[in-house]
Amino acid sequence: MGIADYERLLARLDEAISGPDATSRQDEHAIAVAEMEARLLQQQADLMHAASRLKLPAPRLGADATDESEPADPADELRAAGVAADDADNALVRADHRARRPALLPDSRPRVRNGAVYALCAVAAALPQGIVLTRMGMPTATAPVFVLIPVLAFLSGLILVGPAGTARLRPSRSGRRLPLRRDAKLGAVICGVIGLACGAAWLSLL
């Protein structure tokens, strides 16, 4: 291949690099980059707002380390950035959905969830009932075992239904948060019945 052939190839290469098609591609990439930057800025604002609403620390945002040993294709990089942005949007939607659901039994109705909390407190009170009954004996332990401990179990459940049934983002109406449902009457019945049953069970074992 002679010098003339090299010059002709160089001319074609220069035309491919600086020709109108190359300029058009550069313009398209510049527009795509600008759109992606605008999307990422909006996404960053959404993440900061979500962290504030959920009372979580602000996320640390930054670019990942990339391998610069080989030049990257701008189109491939833009596609990868778009996929990552889509994943972040989906994750934000899922986090918002979870934040609107209670921590305990999120798929259950409030009455069922509150009943489960009271029942757990009443069952947990069975151990101190047995301890008091063993150490004090009957009839001295009648009031603590059949009255005091079930009442304490009820009060504990009344407190615990708050965090158990409250989502990070509580539902609101007209800008006001809806009142928390505690089902105190249901809790009193559950704790009373379970307290009496556990107390009777301890008496039958002693």
Residue 79 placed within a domain? yes
Return the pLDDT at 131. 92
Q: Which two tokens stand for residue 108?
A: 């259950």
> Residue type for 105, please?
L
Residue 80 placed within a domain? yes
Residue 104 placed within a domain? no
Radius of gyration of the chain (CA): 33
Return the pLDDT at 1. 47
Domain that holds residue 162: 110-205
Q: Are residues 92 and 145 in the same domain?
A: no
Residue 25 placed within a domain? yes
Residue 131 placed within a domain? yes
Angle, CA of 53, 92 and 81, to the nearest 5°: 130
Residue listed under structure tokens 């249901």: 186
Q: Are residues 114 and 192 in the same domain?
A: yes
| 195 close to 149: Cβ distance less than 8 angstroms | yes
Q: Are residues 157 and 95 in the same domain?
A: no
Q: Considering its fold, how many domains does the chain have in total?
A: 2
Residue 57 placed within a domain? yes
| 119 close to 105: Cβ distance less than 8 angstroms | no
Question: What is the residue-level pLDDT of the chain in tens, covering all 206 positions?
Answer: 445 554 555 555 455 555 555 566 667 777 887 888 888 888 888 888 888 877 778 777 665 555 555 556 777 777 887 888 888 889 888 888 888 888 888 888 999 999 999 999 999 999 999 999 888 888 888 899 999 999 999 999 999 998 888 887 766 665 566 678 899 999 999 999 999 999 999 988 87
Partners of 173 in the beta sheet?
176
Q: Are residues 91 and 176 in the same domain?
A: no
- 133 three-class SS: helix
Return the pLDDT at 72. 63
Q: Are residues 162 and 186 in the same domain?
A: yes
- Residue 102 sits at φ, ψ, to 5 deg, of -65, 160
pTM surpassing 0.85? no
Q: Are residues 123 and 146 in the same domain?
A: yes
Residue 143 placed within a domain? yes
Q: Are residues 139 and 95 in the same domain?
A: no
Distance CA 53, CA 45 (A): 12
Q: Are residues 116 and 168 in the same domain?
A: yes
Q: Are residues 78 and 136 in the same domain?
A: no
Residue listed under structure tokens 């089902």: 183
Q: Which of 112, 127, 185, 125 is nearest to 152 (CA)?
A: 125
Q: Are residues 122 and 200 in the same domain?
A: yes
Residue 31 placed within a domain? yes
Q: How far apart are the first and last CA of the chain?
A: 108
- 70 three-class SS: coil
b (16+ CB within 10 A) / e for 145-175: bbebbbebbbebbbebbeebbeebbeeeeee
Query: Where a domain ends, among 80, 99, 118?
Result: 99
Return the pLDDT at 111. 93
Distance of CA 80 to the CA centre of its chain: 26
Count CA atoms within 13 Å of residue 83 on its CB side.
6
Q: Are residues 74 and 118 in the same domain?
A: no
Q: Are residues 18 and 91 in the same domain?
A: yes
Neighbours of 178 (CB within 10 A): 9
